[in-house]
């Protein structure tokens, strides 16, 4: 084929075109892979900060709530089902809980029952944020264990019921240090409150709300779905989570276009250099009866082939660079940067188009020249 012969005749220029497109593909692939890894690590990090939403009975006295650390009012455990049915996108990791303060062994402690399951109104599957507590077992806060010399495996009696200590928590420096954690059903039975809770813990998916503080949106949605409840948000955790996500998006959106412009110019200059050395050949082709369209196709096929070759080399180069640069420059864990196979398909589709677009102006300029003028100059 004619365009293959043309490529073999101008191998160096063709290689430079491939390098330009390869660089563009590699930049996109590496930055996308690193950004995806960074977002995932940020999501896990902010998730591990804990729940940032607390859904409590609407009649809760907030002064007592903050003094005691939980609501003294009660609501039905079935309220979670309403959020599930509405498929809310603003609430995730919904976990029902029940809290009660008692005096145990001459010490004030908080009994906290946690649902063994976290539910997702969105229907998606997500890793659990909190530990599951087997029935008949307890997880003991640091201060409670230290003050009572409790060890894992000990049998404790609480309100005339016996439980085995499953685990002792590390010091948290919070009210959790004086908690005794139960399976929710166990605590409900212990205090004779079946089906009753006084809090739903949740995590806000801020990517589905606008602005840095989505509390107003959350309250409007909750009032529509569960009017007998209200939501309290830990703003510092929620805002930090969202700002970190937006920072990654902004970095990607600013840096990538600048680098792609550089690659676009590179390819355009390479194409311009090619056609500058082809004026005589273009004149001869026209004299032999080749039309402008056919000559343009010749150059565009060359650009498209360069794009296809570059798609493969750029994808593998970009994936390799992501694994090298991600942990060193962007401080993400090495095992979090993984190849994204879908990017190879996108690269093969987009790279030839990108190459042709970059070559468009030089090609159009070259084929628009008058044949007689070209041959006369040569």
Higher pLDDT, 183 or 81: 183
Per-residue pLDDT at 157 exceeds 90: yes
The whole-chain average pLDDT of the chain stands at 78
The tens digit of pLDDT for each residue in 32-52 reads 787 777 766 666 655 555 567
More confident residue, 135 or 16: 135
pLDDT at residue 167, rounded to an integer? 93
Q: How confident is the model at residue 129 (pLDDT cuts 50, 70, 90)?
A: low
How confident is the model over 299-304, as a mean pLDDT?
A: 81
Give tens-digit pLDDT for 240-283. Answer: 555 655 665 666 666 677 767 777 777 777 767 666 666 666 66
**154 vs 208: which has the higher pLDDT:** 154
Angle between helices 342-367 and 11-48 (to 10 degrees): 140
Where do the domains of the chain lie?
Answer: 2-44+243-377, 53-233
* pLDDT of res. 184: 94
Residue 323: pLDDT band by 50, 70, 90 thresholds? confident
Q: Which of 327, 367, 375, 297 is nearest to 34 (CA)?
A: 327
Q: Which two tokens stand for residue 269?
A: 């200059």
Integer CA distances (angstroms), 98 to 66, 160, 184, 324, in order? 16, 19, 7, 47
Best CA proximity match to 54, nearest among 70, 43, 67: 70
**Would you state the pLDDT for residue 59?**
92
> Is the model's pLDDT at 161 over the cut of 80?
yes
Give pLDDT, residue 285. Answer: 65
pLDDT for position 236: 61
What tens digit of pLDDT does each residue of 170-202 get? 998 888 999 999 999 999 999 999 999 999 988
pTM of the full structure? 0.58
CA gap 256, 246 in Å, rounded: 15
Q: Which residue has the higher pLDDT, 145 or 80?
A: 145
12-16, 71-75, 259-263: range with highest mean pLDDT: 71-75
Return the higher-pLDDT residue of 304 and 2. 304
216: helix, strand or coil: helix
pLDDT of residue 275: 65
What CA–CA distance (Å, rounded) separates 146 from 5?
Answer: 82
Q: b/e per residue, 5-39, with b = 16+ CB within 10 A? A: ebbeebeebbebbbbbbbbbbbbbbbbbbbbbbbb
pLDDT attached to residue 234? 72
Cα 84 from Cα 123, distance rounded (Å): 8
Query: Which of 106, 29, 20, 54 shows the shortest CA–CA distance to 338?
Result: 29
Average pLDDT over residues 143-148: 94
Instruction: For residue range 218-229, list pLDDT tens digits in order.
Output: 788 788 888 899
Residue 357 has pLDDT above 60, yes or no: yes
Kindly tell me the burial class for residue 82, based on how many C-beta atoms sit within 10 Å of its own C-beta (0-12, 13-18, 19 or more).
middle
DSSP string, 254-308: HHHHHHHHHHHHHHHHHHHHHHHT-HHHHHHHHHTT--HHHHHHHHHHHHHHHHH
**Per-residue exposure over 270-295, b if at least 16 CB sit within 10 Å of its own CB, e if not:** bbbbbbeebbebbbebbeeeeeeeeb
Query: Is the pLDDT higher at 375 or at 195?
Result: 195
Closest CA to 91 of 222, 199, 216: 222
CA distance 156 to 361: 81
């Amino acid at each position: 084929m004619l365009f293959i012969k043309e490529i073999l005749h101008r191998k160096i220029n063709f290689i430079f075109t491939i390098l330009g497109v390869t660089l563009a593909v590699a930049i996109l692939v590496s930055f996308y892979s690193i950004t995806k890894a960074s977002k995932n690590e940020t999501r896990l990090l902010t998730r591990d900060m804990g729940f940032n939403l607390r859904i409590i009975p609407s009649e809760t006295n907030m002064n007592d709530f903050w003094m005691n650390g939980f609501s003294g009012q009660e609501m039905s455990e079935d309220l979670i089902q309403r959020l599930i049915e509405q498929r809310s996108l603003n609430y995730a990791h919904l976990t029902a809980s029940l809290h009660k303060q008692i005096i145990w062994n001459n010490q004030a402690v908080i009994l906290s029952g946690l649902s063994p399951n976290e539910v997702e109104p969105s229907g998606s599957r997500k890793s659990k944020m909190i530990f599951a507590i087997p029935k008949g077992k307890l997880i003991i806060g640091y201060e409670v264990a230290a003050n009572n010399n409790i060890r894992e495996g000990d049998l404790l009696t609480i309100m005339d019921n016996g439980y085995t200590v499953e685990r002792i928590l590390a010091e948290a420096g919070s009210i959790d240090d004086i908690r005794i954690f139960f399976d929710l059903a166990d605590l409900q039975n212990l205090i004779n409150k079946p089906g009753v809770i006084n809090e739903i813990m949740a995590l806000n998916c801020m990517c589905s709300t606008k602005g840095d503080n989505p509390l107003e949106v959350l309250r409007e949605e909750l009032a529509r779905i569960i009017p007998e409840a209200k939501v309290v948000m830990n703003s510092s955790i929620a805002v930090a989570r969202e700002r970190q996500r937006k920072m990654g998006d902004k970095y990607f959106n600013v840096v990538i276009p600048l680098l792609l412009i550089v690659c676009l110019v590179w390819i355009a200059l390479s194409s311009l250099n090619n056609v500058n050395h082809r004026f005589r050949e273009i004149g001869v082709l026209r004299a032999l009866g080749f039309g402008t369209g056919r000559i343009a196709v010749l150059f565009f096929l060359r650009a498209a082939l360069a794009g296809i070759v570059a798609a493969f080399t750029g994808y593998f180069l970009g994936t390799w660079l992501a694994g090298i640069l991600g942990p060193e420059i962007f401080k993400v864990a090495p095992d979090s940067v993984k190849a994204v196979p879908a990017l190879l398909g996108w690269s093969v589709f987009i790279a030839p188009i990108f190459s042709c677009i970059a070559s468009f102006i030089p090609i159009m300029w070259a084929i628009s020249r008058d044949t007689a003028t070209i041959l006369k100059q040569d």
